[in-house]
Amino acid sequence: GNSVTQMEGPVTLSEEAFLTINCTYTATGYPSLFWYVQYPGEGLQLLLKATKADDKGSNKGFEATYRKETTSFHLEKGSVQVSDSAVYFCALSAMDSSYKLIFGSGTRLLVRP
């Protein structure tokens, strides 16, 4: 079946450091890929998405590229801020699972001043 694996956290960085959170997926066909962010005490918000191979999603300085050859969708940001501290979820949806979202386990990011 379809699944998503993302790196375990927590990830602790200093402000202005470079961020990478790894995400790989298993799916038949061509899923859509998403990153969601959950700030403390809040629900999940869509951060970015990509719907086909080689697409790059971007938002708020975050980027992720849909790599079909490596089945990956790693999240990157060049310079993190304290306000980026949150839990990040990688997810996929695919036609063979009726487009239900399948989530990774989440990665907590803590950015220190």
Q: Which residues form the interface with other proteins (CB under 8 A)?
A: 32, 34, 36, 42-46, 49, 51, 89, 93, 95, 98-101, 103-106
Output the smallest distance, CB 102 to other proteins, in A.
Answer: 8
Q: Which is nearer to other proteins, 56 or 100 (CB)?
A: 100
Q: Which is nearer to other proteins, 34 or 84 (CB)?
A: 34
Output the smallest distance, CB 101 to other proteins, in A.
Answer: 6
Q: Which is nearer to other proteins, 101 or 110 (CB)?
A: 101
Block residue for tokens 């803590």: 110
Residue-by-residue DSSP string for the chain: --EEEE--S-EEEETT--EEE-EEEE-SS--EEEEEEE-TTS-EEEEEEE-STT-EEEETTEEEE-BTTTTB--EEESS--GGG-EEEEEEEE-GGGTT--EE---EEEEEE-
Output the smallest distance, CB 98 to other proteins, in A.
Answer: 8
Output the smallest distance, CB 113 to other proteins, in A.
Answer: 25
